[in-house]
Amino acid sequence: MLLWKEGPKAPTISRLLHLTPKLVTLLSIPVALMVAVAVGYLLRRFFHRYREKARTTFGEVCFAVLEAMPIPLLLLAAVDTIIEVVPLPHRYQHAGSEIVFSAVVVVIFLFFTKGAIAFMQRLTQREPSYERITQPVTFIIRLVFVILAVIIILENLGIHLTAVWTTLGIGSVAVALGLQETLSNAFAGLYIMADQPVSTGDYVMLDSGQEGYVVRIGWRATSLRTLGNNIIFVPNASMAKAVITNFSRPEDRMSLSIPVSVAYGTDPNRVERVLLEIAEQAARDGLEGLLARPEPSVRFIPGFGASSLDFSLGVQVRRFVDQYLVQSELRKRIVARFATEGIEMPFPTRTLLLDKSLLESLRDRMLKPPG
């Protein structure tokens, strides 16, 4: 106001420069904006220097947020000052102040949101296992900050939210009941992403029988790709409650047991030697999916069957899906080698023992003449 006030004793800037008060006011607007930008630039350089010296992720993110805030905040402060200084009608001044305040709130919450998201991204870069929860946490952070900003702005505008909260409280109950299953799947998805019982690329089997590679863990369902190249969508709520067998944990390599039966009277030591030779030769031949280490093993288990001696050939395969080819090829080699060695693989047989009196009764009936 002193820029254009006329005084008989103290000459003003407008008198010295021979400018009208209105022109001085108009010139002061760009000057104020340029000063705000200049001061903001200096503060930005100051915070940038400390950001480069920060040794922790939290400190680096904090100074990165502070580095970006000075220029927009000082520009808004300059605009607010101009609105107060320029002789405008009261209603325009009030509306302008409200707009500036709302813009300040938006800027502050925007930079805080970016800082929180940047912090999550830095953690993900240092610990890749956190990547699966970055997306839902980022969405929640944005939602919370937007709600807080809207609440502050509405309260400043004189819009009381008591009635709104009451309406939302009643409506939220109806929405929660209507979206109960959807919300259950959403929270179960967050649990799966945080607890990590499965990861994308794992081969899993559920206690309900579904199995396949985990393709995607979404908000509503987890997608499994079966060996038949079909997609199974399992609701996250069912996934969270299921008993899951993860064939990719703790590593992709897995053991495979192939049952082999021979006739009674066969030397068990000879059978073990032949089976080991078959498995070792297959590994040397480079059978796809079969691992030479750990070495194959043969056990006389489960042992004595109803009509055979039962053995178990144990090998290691590279991953779950390799077991099918390995089983097929080893079984074909076992059949060919047993034929060469003269080892008999019996089919199930059953011996019936009849009581002597029953045999005599049957014989009498057969010898009795008809009629």
Locate the domains of the chain by residue range.
18-159, 196-246, 254-341
- Cβ-in-10-Å burial (0-12, 13-18, 19+) of 6 comes to exposed
Per-residue pLDDT tens listing for the chain (371 residues): 334 444 444 445 555 455 566 666 666 677 777 877 788 788 888 877 877 777 776 677 777 777 777 777 777 777 777 777 666 677 776 777 778 778 888 888 777 777 777 777 776 776 665 665 666 677 777 777 787 777 777 777 776 666 666 666 656 666 666 667 777 777 787 778 777 788 888 999 999 889 999 998 887 889 999 988 999 999 988 888 899 999 988 888 999 999 999 999 999 999 999 999 999 999 999 999 999 888 999 999 999 988 899 999 999 999 988 999 999 999 999 999 999 999 998 877 777 777 777 777 777 777 766 65
Angle made by CA atoms 107, 108, 112, in degrees to the nearest 5? 115
Taking the CA of residue 58 as centre, how many other CA atoms within 13 Å lie in the half-sphere pointing to its CB?
A: 0
Give the CATH fold of the 196-246 domain: SH3 type barrels. (2.30.30)
The token pair at 37 is: 């930008």
The token pair at 354 is: 């009849």
The CA-atom distances, in angstroms, between 8 and each of 5, 20, 42 are 10, 16, 40
Burial 303-317 (b: 16+ CB within 10 A, else e): eeeeebbbbbbbbbb
Longest dimension (CA), the chain: 157
By DSSP bridging, strand 231-235 and strand 244-246 are unpaired
Q: Which DSSP letter does residue 320 get?
A: T
Backbone phi and psi for residue 37, each to the nearest 5 degrees, phi listed first: -65, -40
Where do the DSSP E strands lie in 226-308?
231-235, 244-246, 254-262, 290-291, 297-304
CATH 3.30.70.100 matches 254-341: yes
